[in-house]
Structure formats: C-alpha cells, structure tokens
C-alpha cells in the first residue's frame, strides 16, 4: 500500500520534516528530525528505484486527478537516478551536519538551517519527480528560496550579500523558465510533460515555440550555472555554511541539468531541436568555454571553497557538453557525471568543511602542511581531487571516458583532445592545494591542530571511498545512466 | 602463499611511498626497510602466468602476471628500493624518498604488467615519480627536472599513440613480442627507446640526473633505463635496429664519460654506455643474448648504484663532485674507497665480480649469432669501459692529495654500500645464483680457463693504457681542446660536434617553450587571476545583463 505512494512520499517526508524542524527551537532536536526525514527519504528512494527497475515507468496521480488535468508524478530511470543522487547525498551529509552546523551557526538559528536543508531537498526531489512543467517551477522556487536562506545563514557578513545576489539571479532564472512554460501553455494549452510532448509533435514550429525554448534554456542555464551565467555560484558556495555548500554543490546544479535534459529530450524532442534550433551548438561552445575559463580561474583562486566552486562551473561544462553532443553515449556521460560529480564534489567540500571546522579558514596561505595534521581529511580531498582530474580508477575517469568515446563516435577528434586538455588544467588547481597541504611545513598554528572529529570524517570518507569504488566498478552508476540515456533517446515518457 | 601473491608487489612500494610523509623519522625508517622486503617476498612468491585479472571498460586487464624475466627485474628493483632507501635515510627531504618509492613501485608495476594499458599507466607514474625525485633537490634542479618531465611526457604521448593504434589494429591489449612491421609498433618501440637514453633524445639523462641530490641519483640510475630495457626484451627481442642503437650508445657514452670532469655526470654518461650493451643484446635477440641483457641489467643496477653511492658519499661529506678538486681521499675514507673499487671492477667485468658473468653472456650471444663485427666492437668496448671505470676511484681517492680529509659517511650510508658490494662480489663468485634467475635456463659457465685469461689480458692492457695515457686523461680536465687529438681519432670531434649541436638545440627549445609558457600564464592570469574579469564578483546588474545577452543571442541564432 505504502509502496504505491512512494513517488509522493519522497517529497512529503522532507517537507513535513521541515515543518516539524521549524516548530522546534533547539538545534539538536531539529537535527534529529532532519536525520530521520533524510534516512526515510533515502529508504523510500531505494524502494522507488527498485520498483522502476522492476516495473518500468511509474505514473502517480496526485489526489487521484488523472493527467493532464491533475498533476502527475512520473518516475523513469533518468529521474530515479537523479532522485537517488539527491537523497543519498542529503542523507550521507546528515551525520556531518550536527557538529559543523553547531560551530558555524548561532544556536537560535540552527533549527532554521535544518528546516531550510529539508525544504531544499524536498524542492530538488520535487523538480526531479514531477511530470508537470508548472509544478517543476513551484519546486524550483521552493528549493531556491530555501537555498537563499541557507546561504544567508553563513558566518561571514558577505553571506547576506551573496544570498541576495543569488536571489536576484535565481529569480530571473525562474522567471525566464516560467515565461517559457507560459508560452508553451499558450501554444499547446497543457502543462503535463507527456501531453506537451504529444502536442508539440503535431504543432508546426513557430516563433513562439522558439522563444519558449530560448527562455527555458537560459532560465535553467542560470540555475545550473552555465558559463557565463555562473557568476552567482562561487560566492554562494563560498559563503554558505559548510554543510549547505556540500549539499548545494552535490545536488542543486545536477537537478537543473536534469530538468534541461527532460525539457530537451522528453518535451521538445531532441530530433526537433537538432532539426530546427542552433541551441545545441550554442551550448557546445559555452560548455567548452566553461571547461577552460572556469578551470583557469580555479588555478589562480586562493580560497579553496571558491576554487572548488569554479571547478564546479567547469564540471557543469562537461555535463552540458554531453547534452549538446546529443548522442546516446554522450548523454550517458552526462548522466553518469551527474552522479560522479556529486560524489567527488561532495567529498571535496566535506573535507574542506572539516578544515574550516578545525582551522577556521579555507584560504590556501593558512593551510600550509594541513595534510600532516589532518591526514584523513586531506587524504579524502586528494581522492576527490584525483576524481576531478579524471585519473583512471576514480569516478572522474568514467565520466570523461564516455565523453571522449562520444566525441570519437562523432568523429570530433578535436573535442576529445579538448576534454583531455581541460582535464590537465585540473591537475594544476588540485595540485596547488595538494602541494600546500602536504608538502609545505606546517606553521605554528597549524601544527597544533588535530584531525577532525569522527562525525565529520565518516561522511567524508564514505564519499571519497565511493569515488574510488564507482571508479573501479561503475556497473551501478554507468549502467543506470546508460539505460536512462537509451530510454531518453527512445523518447519514452 | 598464493593468497599473499595476489597483492601486486609494486603497489606495496607505491603505498609505502604515499604513506611516508605522514610519519616521523623512526616510523619512516621502519617503512623504508620493511616495504621493499615485503615487495621482495611477493615477487619471489609470484607464480607463473596471470595472477590478477580485472575487467575494466570492456578490456580484460592483466595487472599482474609472472614469469622468470619479470621476477628477475622485480627482484633487483625491490633490492634497489631497499638499498637506496637505506642509503637515503639521512635525506632530510621526505618528498624525495616518498616519490622514489612510488617510482620504484611503478617500475615493478611495469615489469609485472601483462597488458599494454597497465604498462602505460605505470610508465607514466614512473615519469611523475622520477621527476619529483629530481625536482626535490631544490631550485637548481627545477629547470633540468622540467626538461626531464617534458621529454618523458613526450615519450609517454608517443607510447600512448602507439598503444592505441596497436589495440585498434590488432584488437589485443596483450604485451607480447612484436615485429616492427607497423607504424604503431615503431611508435611503441620509439617510446620505449626514449627511456633508455638513446641519442639523439638522450640529453635528459646527463642533464637531469646529476642535478638530483646525492641520494636521488641512486634511485634514478636504477629504474627508468632498466625498465625500458625490460620492455624491449619483452616487446622487441631481435629488432635489428636495436643493435646499432645500442652500439652507438656504447661508444657515445664511453667517449663522453672519459672526458667528463663531474663525477656524477660521468656516471650518467656511463649509464648510457652500459644500457647500450643491453639494448645491443636485445637487438641480437638470441636466447643467450637476451639472457645476457637481463643479467647485465640486473648486475648493472647494483654496481652502478654502488658507484653512485660512493660518489654520493663523497658529495655528501665534501660537497664536491669535480674530479679536479678531489683526490687522495683514501686516507680518511678507506671503506668508501674499497666499495668504489669493487664497483669499478664490477662495471669493468673483472672476473669474480658480478659484471663478468653478465657481460660474458652478451658477447657470447653475438658470437653465437655469428656477428663478428658486433663481437669485436663489444669486446673492445669492455676494455674502454674499464679505462673509464678506473678513472673514478683513481681521481677521487688516489692521484694527488687534495688536502681534503672528510670522514667516512654515516653508518646507514655505509651499510647500503656494503650490501651492494657484497652483492657485486657474491654474484661474481657464485654466477649460478645469477643464472638461476635468467628467463631461459642455461648451463653457461663463464669461468673457463680461456675466458679468464682473455678477460685478464683485456684488463691488463686497459691498465697499461690508462697509466700510459694518464697525462692526457688529466689534461682533459682543463677542457683544453688542443691535446685531445688522441680521441679525435675515435671520432670524438664528430661526437662532440653532435653533442654541442643537440645541446644548443635542446637549450634553445627548452627556453623558447618556457618563455611561451610564461607569457601564456601571464595572459591567463590577467583575466583569470583573482583580480581578473572572470574571477571578480560581478555586480548583480552585470549578471542580469549577461543573462539577457544570452537570451538575445539564443533568439537571434534561432531566427538567423
């Protein structure tokens, strides 16, 4: 009976968790609620995934109203994968959150942080699970508003400014998206994805449709930090509390990428886009620009959180690159990189969060020799860094392998070269941190530090280990991604 | 024991290397001693055939497979990691030891690799490890280290291109003997040969090795060139081109070693010379010669390390590595002197040292293959090597009295030298121990009357020549060109010209590349550095503006 309602439960559990957390005043109680909610969500997600794997696409009618009148939740392999990423990361971070949040956020605001954390997760899962364009907008706003608040809860005075900037930009993005959806509504008269796809297929292309696609692309592009719309991201990531940064970096952009894929493949239809729009070429150029420019910025960045944030912009470039190549292998690369990047960036940000917890700073100058005093933490960072570079045996290699193979399949040798060349830049920005952390002598302040507490270490180690595990045995992640990509190309929804 | 053998021995050393920076000096010392011993035990317990296979992206990899040849190289690499590690215990720079162990472990990884992909991965790891070993010797080593890295990564690219093509054309990733019958195989061969230090791409070796620290060069001399020899034995036995490449290396290295005034630079040229013997043997390609290449590599690693350790000890105690400034050190460093002489005798293939049973095999291989010219050249070169080798102990420890009275090096360094000396003598007296490890079983006995006599004759003649020419040998230290007519007769002029030219081209290329890189980085920094356009925090309005621009661009593109 419950299993029938899993698609809606994965949204409702964190939503009600947020409500309960908001009613408490103590951080630890609030954390307990969030922990239970996140673990329950993860369990429900796993149940849902096994159902999808077993039975195929699941359609759930909210309130018993049949689509296209009612809102439909629709789960196939692609969004099952994305939901799995979000709920796994959200659950793995929870043990980390208590200690880190207690240090970084004043006592009477901690309950709010957990409220926002759960709201954000509810929103992100909602975007992924829904089969309705307007409902996706609502969840986009839910997750975004929660994110703004989460960033504003950061220690630094600039947190507020960063949150404000992100609020303005996020709102512009969401507005663009809803304008696009509105245009689609006027053309087709429906909001349900399946229904939209069916009607778009029989509607002759006109300018309104092109405009709708442009607005939706740019709107979502802003949410996923597509170069050059990424400028809000480094500050947002750098100023948010460590736990929040880890959650956002691992999940928020991924869900936006998913939404773009869903729009392109399942609503507009990739064949139509290839035939009538030059938008894929535009995305190709922008993603290559992101891979190089953002990586170069990361090389010179002195604040490690910002360094990783710029690296995220570059990594989003790889995801969009796979999308813009529009082949089954490339899309597999994109989807598997969603998962892989979540793991590596999660591990990297958690490790840096642990450094911030012990050292009180994440600037490179102050991290001299930190690897000697916090070997486990920085060891995890190195593993995550190797994944970012794409060293064989780590998850990063799997993603890049699919992308390179896809480039070869298309006969684009130059692109394969650029993928590898841009990975080499990652050697430099990761190498700078490694050099400072491991090969410099610790200064007086650093040498008095100790390894981070166990609750910070465990989630970091788990994610770093996953980076290696799924790098060696990619059958779960790559297998899911491949099946999902094939399904998306089959146009099944 | 089979379960123990499942652990790749190379990984033990790599892991040890990565762990080294985490610990204090005592634990480091323990790791340095224990890790190579574990690796050695694993090597000896490695059964024949694939030990570990894994499926990776659709390729059936064989990361670990064993046979006699692999075990032989694995053994000597593990021994070298141990001896080198003990010698370097006083090295304050942990990075050097850590990277040396990663480097040694990767070399072992190559010799146990059953497929080309694994070979390539460990090949690149070696390049990284060895570059770090060089660069860890401070700022002065950075430039040579950079040049070293460039040439090795270039070699890596060539190798990768070859391997990719080989896999694409044959569909097999196995690392097996290959004929040089396709472009890709030539590329693979070229990639391997670059690492042997063969001219004209040799400058990395005498350029970079002497710039490493007193302990670093001991590691460097052991692994890179000898791993390349291993890959040649495994991949290209009997490729005729290697005979001539090898002979060229022998005489090229010989002449330059003879004229060099820096002790360790001289030994670097001597590496080229010695590896030439091995490359030549691989080119000859019959069973005896291949046995000889493997045996020579094995003993060479140990006696070259011994010579480098004695030169390194002198450098460590006096800070001097120039022949002209040294001399008469035997008074205060008797043990180091003895070790150095043992090394020099071994490299000269004197009977009852390890060089004798090994080099005999190679010359015998040439005789067996009825390559008369090659045999003569090889035998002549052995005499030349002796003259070069004897120079080292003579000019450092005897000759004039330089007035220096350095003490013997610290105990750990002495122990390492004693161990290497014992191995040199041991394998000389009991060649059976060496032969039992050979890839192909042999009942060859080097200690026949005729062979002993001819070898002693050769050495005696060499000694006479050395002391007769001592005057000229000394004069070369002043780098005067007017009296070196003698060596011009051997084509020295040609060789010097060649070396000067490649040297100039090398320097020019390197400085051009480094200027370009600097300009490039500057430009990038301007836009991407913390104050650059791309890294600054933009005002919100500007961000919004760009959003609109992008929307407009999308629409315009759509309507065009």
Most B CBs within 10 Å: which of A227, A297, A436, as the mutation test of the B interface?
A297
Is there a domain that residue A323 lies in?
yes
Torsion-angle region of residue A346: left (phi > 0), alpha (psi -120 to 50) or beta? alpha
Would you call B92 an interface residue with chain A, using a CB distance cutoff of 8 Å?
no
Q: What is the pLDDT of residue B482?
A: 32
Helices B411-429 and B355-368: angle between axes, nearest 10 degrees: 40
- Number of alpha carbons in the 13 Å side-chain half-sphere of residue A12: 9
Nearest to A297 among B57, B534, B555 (CB): B534
What token pair was written down for B181? 């019958």
Vertex B335 angle, CA B330 and B339, to 5°: 100
Q: Measured between alpha carbons, how far is B102 from B115 in angstroms, rounded to an integer?
A: 20
Is there a domain that residue A330 lies in?
yes
* Average pLDDT score, chain B: 83
* pTM, entire model: 0.66
| Alpha-carbon dihedral B209, B212, B215, B216, rounded to 10 degrees | -70
Q: What is the pLDDT of residue B480?
A: 35
Q: Measured between alpha carbons, how far is A313 from B208 in angstroms, rounded to an integer?
A: 39
User: Cβ separation of A302 and B537 shorter than 8 Å?
Assistant: no
User: Cβ separation of A228 and B546 shorter than 8 Å?
Assistant: yes
Neighbours of B338 (CB within 10 A): 17
Q: Which residues contact A221 (CB under 8 A, 6 or more apart)?
A: A173, A229, A260, B550
**A310 vs B contacts (CB less than 8 Å):** 535
Nearest to A293 among B21, B534, B551 (CB): B534
**B95 vs A contacts (CB less than 8 Å):** 439
Q: What is the pLDDT of residue B478?
A: 43
Q: What is the pLDDT of residue B495?
A: 62
Residue A170 contacts residue A146 (beta carbons within 8 Å): no
Nearest to A375 among B22, B527, B532 (CB): B22
Residue B326 contacts residue B341 (beta carbons within 8 Å): no
Which residue does chain B place closest to A438, by CA atoms? B21
* Sign of the alpha-carbon dihedral angle for B138, B142, B148, B149: positive
Vertex B74 angle, CA B69 and B78, to 5°: 155
Which residue does chain B place closest to A298, by CA atoms? B528
User: Cβ separation of B535 and A214 shorter than 8 Å?
Assistant: no
Is there a domain that residue A437 lies in?
yes
Domain count, chain A: 1
Residue with tokens 């007193």: B214
Q: Residue A166: what are its φ and ψ, rounded to 5°?
A: -65, -35
413-472 in A: which are within 8 Å (CB) of B? 438-439, 472
User: Cβ separation of B540 and A165 shorter than 8 Å?
Assistant: yes
User: Cβ separation of A296 and B524 shorter than 8 Å?
Assistant: yes
**A297 vs B contacts (CB less than 8 Å):** 528, 532, 534-535
User: Cβ separation of A169 and B547 shorter than 8 Å?
Assistant: yes
Vertex A471 angle, CA A465 and A473, to 5°: 100
Q: For residue range B191-214, what is the model confidence (pLDDT) as tens digits?
A: 999 999 887 777 788 888 888 888
Q: In DSSP terms, which residues pair with B50 in a beta bridge?
A: B65
pLDDT over 90 (residue B421): yes
Q: For residue range B160-185, what is the model confidence (pLDDT) as tens digits?
A: 888 888 887 888 888 888 888 888 89
Residue A84 contacts residue A45 (beta carbons within 8 Å): yes
Residue A402 contacts residue A336 (beta carbons within 8 Å): yes
User: Cβ separation of B554 and A401 shorter than 8 Å?
Assistant: no
Q: What is the pLDDT of residue A1?
A: 59
Q: For residue range A176-213, what is the model confidence (pLDDT) as tens digits?
A: 999 999 999 998 889 999 899 888 888 877 778 888 89
Q: How far is A323 from chain B (nearest CA, A)?
A: 17
Burial of B508 (0-12, 13-18, 19+ CB in 10 A): exposed
Domain that holds residue A378: 311-493
Helices A158-188 and A207-223: angle between axes, nearest 10 degrees: 160
User: Cβ separation of A392 and B534 shorter than 8 Å?
Assistant: no
Nearest to A401 among B57, B537, B538 (CB): B57
17-36 in B: which are within 8 Å (CB) of A? 21-22
Q: What is the pLDDT of residue B488?
A: 41
Would you call B521 an interface residue with chain A, using a CB distance cutoff of 8 Å?
no
B491 pLDDT tier (thresholds 50, 70, 90): low
Neighbours of A325 (CB within 10 A): 24
Nearest to A282 among B528, B557, B559 (CB): B557
Most B CBs within 10 Å: which of A170, A180, A296, as the mutation test of the B interface?
A296
pLDDT over 70 (residue B57): no
User: Cβ separation of A210 and B555 shorter than 8 Å?
Assistant: yes
User: In A56-157, which residue ranges form alpha helices assigned H by DSSP?
Assistant: 77-104, 107-129, 133-152
Residue A433 contacts residue A306 (beta carbons within 8 Å): no
B61: nearest Cα among B2, B4, B116, B123: B116
Q: Which residues contact A182 (CB under 8 A, 6 or more apart)?
A: none
Residue B337 contacts residue B266 (beta carbons within 8 Å): no
Q: What is the pLDDT of residue A315?
A: 94
Q: How far is B558 from chain A (nearest CA, A)?
A: 6
Is there a domain that residue A345 lies in?
yes
User: Cβ separation of B21 and A302 shorter than 8 Å?
Assistant: no
Would you call A222 an interface residue with chain B, using a CB distance cutoff of 8 Å?
yes
Element (H, E) at B60: strand B59-66
pLDDT over 80 (residue B484): no
Nearest to A169 among B543, B550, B557 (CB): B543
Would you call B537 an interface residue with chain A, using a CB distance cutoff of 8 Å?
yes
Q: Measured between alpha carbons, how far is B81 from B77 in angstroms, rounded to an integer?
A: 6
Which residue does chain B place closest to A225, by CA atoms? B547
User: Cβ separation of B554 and A217 shorter than 8 Å?
Assistant: yes
User: Cβ separation of B560 and A439 shorter than 8 Å?
Assistant: no
Q: Which residues contact B402 (CB under 8 A, 6 or more apart)?
A: B325, B326, B327, B328, B329
Q: What percent of chain B has pLDDT over 90?
A: 22
Q: What is the pLDDT of residue A384?
A: 95
Which residue does chain B place closest to A290, by CA atoms? B534
**B524 vs A contacts (CB less than 8 Å):** 296, 299-300
Q: Which residues contact A367 (CB under 8 A, 6 or more apart)?
A: A304, A355, A359, A361, A433, A436, A437, A446
Would you call A392 an interface residue with chain B, using a CB distance cutoff of 8 Å?
yes
What mean pLDDT comes out for the span B112-136?
A: 90
In order, the DSSP letters of B318-343 are: HS--BGGG---GGGT-HHHHHHHHHH
Is there a domain that residue A156 lies in?
no
Nearest to B537 among A235, A277, A293 (CB): A235
Q: Measured between alpha carbons, how far is A232 from B539 in angstroms, rounded to an integer?
A: 10
Is there a domain that residue A389 lies in?
yes
| 3 state SS of B51 | strand
User: Cβ separation of A297 and B557 shorter than 8 Å?
Assistant: no
Q: Which stretches in chain A have pLDDT values below 70? A: 1, 491-493
Q: What is the pLDDT of residue B257?
A: 83
Q: What is the pLDDT of residue A491?
A: 54
Residue B351 contacts residue B455 (beta carbons within 8 Å): yes
Most B CBs within 10 Å: which of A299, A300, A329, A427, as the mutation test of the B interface?
A300
């Amino acid at each position: 009976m419950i299993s029938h309602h899993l698609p809606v439960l994965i949204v409702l559990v964190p939503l009600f968790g947020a409500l309960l957390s908001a009613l408490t005043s103590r951080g630890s109680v609030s954390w307990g609620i969030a922990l239970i909610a996140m673990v329950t969500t993860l369990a429900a997600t796993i149940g849902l995934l096994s159902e999808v794997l077993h039975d195929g696409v699941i359609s759930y009618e909210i309130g018993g109203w049949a689509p296209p009148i009612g809102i439909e939740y629709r789960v196939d392999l692609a969004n099952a994968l994305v939901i799995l990423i979000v709920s796994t990361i959200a659950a793995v971070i929870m043990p980390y959150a208590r200690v880190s949040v207690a240090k970084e956020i004043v006592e009477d605001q901690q309950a709010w942080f957990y409220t926002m954390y759960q709201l954000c997760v509810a929103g992100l899962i909602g975007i992924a699970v829904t089969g309705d364009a307007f409902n996706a907008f609502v969840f986009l706003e839910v997750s975004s508003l929660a994110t703004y608040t989460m960033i504003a809860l950061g220690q630094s005075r600039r947190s507020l400014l960063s949150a404000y900037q992100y609020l303005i930009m996020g709102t512009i993005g969401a507005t663009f998206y809803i304008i696009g959806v509105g245009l689609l509504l006027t053309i087709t008269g429906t909001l349900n994805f399946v229904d939209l796809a069916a009607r778009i297929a029989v509607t002759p292309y006109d300018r309104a449709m092109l405009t709708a696609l442009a607005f939706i692309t740019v709107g979502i592009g802003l949410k996923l930090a597509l170069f050059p719309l990424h400028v809000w991201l480094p500050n947002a990531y750098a100023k948010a509390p460590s736990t929040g940064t880890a959650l956002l970096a691992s999940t928020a952009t991924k869900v936006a990428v998913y939404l773009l894929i869903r729009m392109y493949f399942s609503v507009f239809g990739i064949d139509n886009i290839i035939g009538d729009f030059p938008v894929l070429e535009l995305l190709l150029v922008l993603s290559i620009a992101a891979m190089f420019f953002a990586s170069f910025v990361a090389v010179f960045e002195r604040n490690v959180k910002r360094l990783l944030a710029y690296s995220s912009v570059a990594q989003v470039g790889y995801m969009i690159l796979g999308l813009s190549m529009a082949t089954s292998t490339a899309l597999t690369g994109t989807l598997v990189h969603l998962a892989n990047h979540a793991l590596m960036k999660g591990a990297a940000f958690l490790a840096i969060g642990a450094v911030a917890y012990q050292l009180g700073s994440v600037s490179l100058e102050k991290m001299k020799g930190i690897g000697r005093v916090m070997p486990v933490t920085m060891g995890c960072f190195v593993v995550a860094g190797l994944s970012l570079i794409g060293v064989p045996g780590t998850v990063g290699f799997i993603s890049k392998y699919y992308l390179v193979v896809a480039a070869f399949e298309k006969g684009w040798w130059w692109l394969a070269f650029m993928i590898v060349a841009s990975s080499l830049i990652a050697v430099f920005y990761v190498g700078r941190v490694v050099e400072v952390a491991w090969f410099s002598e610790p200064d007086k302040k650093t040498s008095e530090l100790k390894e981070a507490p166990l609750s910070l270490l465990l989630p970091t180690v788990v994610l770093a280990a996953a980076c290696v595990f799924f790098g060696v045995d990619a059958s779960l992640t790559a297998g899911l991604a491949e099946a999902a990509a094939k399904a998306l190309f089959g146009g099944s929804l | 024991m089979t379960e123990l053998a499942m652990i790749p021995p190379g990984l033990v050393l790599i892991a040890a290397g990565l762990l080294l920076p985490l610990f204090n000096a005592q634990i480091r010392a323990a790791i340095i001693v224990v890790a190579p011993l574990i690796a050695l035990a694993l090597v000896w317990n490695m059964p024949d055939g694939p030990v570990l296979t894994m499926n990776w992206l659709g390729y059936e990899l064989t990361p670990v497979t064993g046979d006699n040849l692999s075990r032989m190289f694995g053994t000597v690499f593990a021994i070298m990691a141990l001896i080198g590690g003990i010698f370097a215990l006083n090295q304050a720079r942990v990075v050097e030891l850590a990277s040396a162990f990663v480097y040694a472990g990767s070399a072992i990884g190559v010799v146990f690799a059953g497929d080309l992909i694994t070979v390539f991965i460990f090949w690149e790891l070696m390049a990284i490890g060895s570059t770090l070993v060089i660069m860890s010797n401070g700022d002065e080593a950075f430039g040579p280290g950079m040049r070293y890295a460039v040439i090795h990564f270039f070699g890596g690219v060539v190798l990768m291109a070859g391997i990719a093509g080989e896999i694409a054309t044959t569909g097999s990733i196995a690392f097996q003997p290959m004929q040089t019958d396709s472009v890709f195989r030539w590329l693979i061969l070229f990639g391997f040969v670059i690492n042997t230090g063969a001219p004209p791409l040799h400058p990395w070796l005498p350029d970079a090795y002497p710039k490493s620290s007193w302990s670093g060069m001991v590691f460097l001399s052991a692994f890179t060139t000898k791993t390349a020899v291993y890959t040649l034995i495994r991949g290209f036995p009997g490729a005729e081109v290697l005979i001539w490449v090898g002979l060229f290396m022998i005489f090229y290295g010989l002449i330059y070693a003879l004229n060099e005034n820096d002790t360790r630079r001289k030994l670097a040229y001597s590496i080229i010379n010695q590896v030439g013997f091995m490359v030549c043997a691989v080119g000859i390609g019959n069973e005896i010669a291949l046995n000889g290449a493997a045996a020579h590599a094995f003993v060479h690693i140990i006696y070259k390390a011994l010579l480098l350790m004695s030169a390194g000890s002198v450098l460590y105690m006096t800070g001097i590595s120039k022949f002209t400034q040294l001399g008469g050190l035997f008074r205060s460093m008797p043990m180091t002197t003895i070790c150095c002489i043992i090394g020099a005798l071994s490299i000269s293939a004197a009977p009852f040292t390890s060089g004798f049973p090994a080099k005999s095999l190679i010359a015998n291989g040439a005789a067996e293959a009825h390559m008369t010219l090659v045999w003569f050249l090889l035998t002549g070169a052995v005499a030349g090597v002796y003259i070069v080798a004897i120079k080292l102990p003579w000019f450092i420890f005897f000759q004039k009295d330089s007035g220096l009275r350095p003490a013997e090096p610290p105990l750990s360094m002495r122990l390492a030298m004693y161990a290497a000396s014992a191995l040199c003598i041991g394998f000389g007296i009991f060649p059976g121990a060496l032969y039992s490890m050979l890839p192909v079983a042999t009942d060859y006995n080097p200690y026949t009357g005729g062979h002993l006599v001819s070898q002693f004759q050769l050495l005696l003649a060499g000694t006479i020549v050395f002391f007769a020419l001592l005057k000229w040998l000394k004069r070369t230290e002043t780098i005067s060109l007017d009296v070196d007519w003698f060596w011009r007769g051997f084509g020295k002029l040609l060789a010097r010209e060649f070396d000067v030219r490649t040297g100039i081209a090398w320097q020019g290329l390197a400085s051009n590349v480094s200027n370009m890189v600097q300009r490039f980085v500057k430009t990038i920094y301007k836009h991407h550095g913390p104050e650059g356009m791309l890294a600054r925090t933009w005002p919100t309005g500007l961000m919004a503006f760009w959003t609109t621009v992008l929307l407009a661009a999308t629409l315009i593109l759509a309507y065009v």
